Structure 1
Amino acid sequence: MPYEVQGVVSRGKGEPVSLETVLVPDPGPGEAVVNVQACGVCHTDLHYREGGINDDFPFLLGHEAAGVVEAVGDGVTDLEPGDYVILNWRAVCGTCRACKRGKPWYCFATFNAAQPMTLQDGTKLSPALGIGAFLEKTLVHSGQCTKVNRDAEPAVAGLLGCGVMAGLGAAINTGAVTRGDSVAVIGCGGVGDAAVAGAKLAGATTIVAIDMDDRKLTWAKDFGATHTVNSKGLSEAQVVEAMQEATGGFGPDVVIDAVGRPETWRQAFYGRDLAGTVVLVGVPTPDMRLDDLPLIDFFSRGGSLKSSWYGDCLPSRDFPMLVDLYLQGRLPLDKFVTERIGVDGVEQAFERMHHGDVLRSVVTF
């Protein structure tokens, strides 16, 4: 018999979300049903609602979640009821060309549940990032469940499922920040502040936070920023000068663009040190272009230009490690939780996110 639970559904582009009855089937082969205990309100959920991902409405929103396994399907051997897990949207296949090359964090054939979750009338729902977790129970592929230490509060642990992992991984995995490095982070929302925290964790000695909002710059200092730059009203050249001034005139070793606009990417490109690294983790829209960058500048400046997908994380490796660092007091994940809300408060949380009032609203069950 399917489970009947209340979930947050987006029925049309730009329309307010609604709380509706969702039917969650028993797990089939390779699947698991998870009792969701907490789920962060991520900007990606808002992108889904606005039609910025695709138009496969209606969507079942929510994906940044932690909870306890309720049941597993046939063939699941590494997971059992009662396991405490963070949900991930990179359940690696182990057999694609990326996995076979020893780079499973690039897996090109990740798993999702085969069965759909539906509305009462049988309408199939498209779960956000293959998860759909703004509801009390969700159906996922067993590989989307990463077991972690249950001492970590769900509202905190679940944030590693997407945005916080994206930022931390952009610094640690993609940018390969190491001891003594200088780093700049452009855009200090949840992902950017996670990049700041990751840079500090990796041993960066100079961390420059850049944003147009003084409140966000204050948050960035709480996560380890040593310098702040309010870029409101500054030209691209002035932003470049500011990050170079903070790093002895040379520019940072690594610049992380957590905004994803042509102007911020150019700031990162020209602001870094010679042979420095640019990491793009902010997601551009399809219409954005770089048409005015001389090719000779790519050659003459050298270095690395990288995109970071999900922080280039491997959930089975990274989630348990980061939870342990949090429990040791070395990673302040709890600072990302601005408020705890009910499942009926997601639309209002989107508004607060839009106005920059929160780092993370977290739905708790």
Structure 2
Amino acid sequence: MPHEARAVVALKKGAPVEVLPILVPDPGPGEVLVTVQACGVCHTDLHYRDGAIGDDFPYLLGHEAAGVIEEVGPGVTDLAPGDYVVLAWRAPCGQCRSCRRARPWYCFASRNADRAMTLRDGTELTAALGIGAFAEKTLVAAGQAVKVDPSARPEAAGLIGCGVMAGYGAAVHTGGVGSGDTVAVIGCGGVGNAAIAGASRAGARRVIAVDLDDGKLDAAERFGATDTVNSRGTDPVEAVRALTGGHGADVVIDAVGRPETYRQAFYMRDLAGTLVQVGVPAPDMRIDLPLLDLFSHGGALKSSWYGDCLPSRDFPVLIDLFLSGKLDLERFISETIALDDLETAFAKMQRGEVLRSVVVV
């Protein structure tokens, strides 16, 4: 028997979202029904609303969530009703060529629920990143629900599901930041500050935060930045070089995802340094770099997919760091809001006024 729930739906490209009743099926084989408690407002949700990711409208938005298992489907043995979970948009299949080569963090056939949630009239909804958690209930593949310590309140725990994991993993997993490294992070929103926290936690000697906004740079210092650069009136490449003895940083993380920030990150590296792009670009963006510069600078140019994380391994670890006071998730939360306030939260995010608005369901 389908479950009726209130949810945030983007009906058509660029139109304001609406809070509508939806129908959520009972879980089928390998699926779980989750009662959502909190869900962070991520820039990816705005990309979905604006048609920058696809045109499979209507979209059921929301993906950075924590909640409680309500029902489990046939064949689900490692989860039970009452389990407290953070939802992941990567659930390794165990069968694709990447999983078979022991690289499940690159799974090319990540699992989602097989059956769609719908509007009352039967119109199928496309769940954002296979989750759709701006809703009172959602249906996901069992592998997308990761059990964590229930001591972590959902407003904070849910942030692990996307932005925090993406930024933290970009530094620790993709960038391989180690003890004594110098790191520069371009863009000090939620993902960038998580990268700063990750780099600091990994033992970086110097973590340089780069942004256009002094308020965000102040916040970056609270996440572990040792130096800040306001690039509005300063050449950030020269500023980072000046802070690193003229050499550039060992690892540079672009948490913005624009051609100009990618170019800055490329030239901000030391020779043989690593560039990590974790900011998501728009489909029409292009980058043009001299091939000789690509060769002569050496090093590595990497894209970080979800912080190259393995949710079942990494989510519990980050929650434990939070509960032990070593990763301040609470500092990411700028405000808590209701489902009906999402358009206002989008506007605040576009103006750079918040790190994370969190919907409390």
Give the superposition deviation at 1:301: 1.2
Letter in 2 for 1:233: G
Q: Distance in 2 between matches of 1:78 and 1:219?
A: 39
Mapping 1:152-167, distance limit 5 Å: 152-167=152-167
The alignment status of 1:247 with 2:244, answered yes or no, reads yes
Q: Distance in 2 between matches of 1:288 and 1:22?
A: 35
Letter in 2 for 1:10: A
- Alignment RMSD, CA only? 0.8
Aligned to 1:94: 94
Aligned to 1:267: 264
Give the superposition deviation at 1:59: 0.5
Q: Distance in 1 between matches of 2:18 and 2:258?
A: 31
Aligned to 2:276: 279
Q: Secondary structure at the residue paired with 1:274?
A: strand
Give the superposition deviation at 1:262: 1.4
Contact 2:112 2:130 in 1 (8 A): yes
Unpaired runs of 5+ residues, structure 1, are none
Aligned to 2:48: 48
Letter in 2 for 1:178: G
Q: Distance in 2 between matches of 1:17 and 1:294?
A: 42
Q: Distance in 1 between matches of 2:290 and 2:136?
A: 52
Aligned to 2:78: 78
Give the superposition deviation at 1:139: 0.4
Q: Distance in 2 between matches of 1:195 and 1:211?
A: 14
Contact 2:52 2:283 in 1 (8 A): no
Letter in 2 for 1:17: V
Aligned to 1:324: 320
Normalising by structure 1, what TM-score? Answer: 0.98
Q: Distance in 2 between matches of 1:343 and 1:335?
A: 22
Q: Distance in 2 between matches of 1:284 and 1:16?
A: 22
Mapping 1:104-183, distance limit 5 Å: 104-183=104-183
Q: Secondary structure at the residue paired with 1:28?
A: coil
Q: Distance in 1 between matches of 2:291 and 2:66?
A: 45
Structure 1 residue ranges (4+ consecutive) displaced by more than 2 angstroms after TM superposition? none
Q: Distance in 2 between matches of 1:333 and 1:248?
A: 33
Q: Distance in 2 between matches of 1:239 and 1:213?
A: 13
Q: Distance in 1 between matches of 2:25 and 2:290?
A: 54
Tell me the percent identity. 67
Letter in 1 for 2:118: T
Q: Distance in 2 between matches of 1:41 and 1:277?
A: 30
Letter in 2 for 1:300: S
Unpaired runs of 5+ residues, structure 2, are none
Mapping 1:163-312, distance limit 5 Å: 163-234=163-234, 238-291=235-288, 293-312=289-308
Letter in 1 for 2:356: R
Q: Secondary structure at the residue paired with 2:216?
A: helix
Letter in 2 for 1:321: V
Q: Secondary structure at the residue paired with 2:260?
A: helix
Provide the aligned length of Structure 1 versus Structure 2: 361
Aligned to 1:65: 65
Q: Secondary structure at the residue paired with 2:313?
A: helix
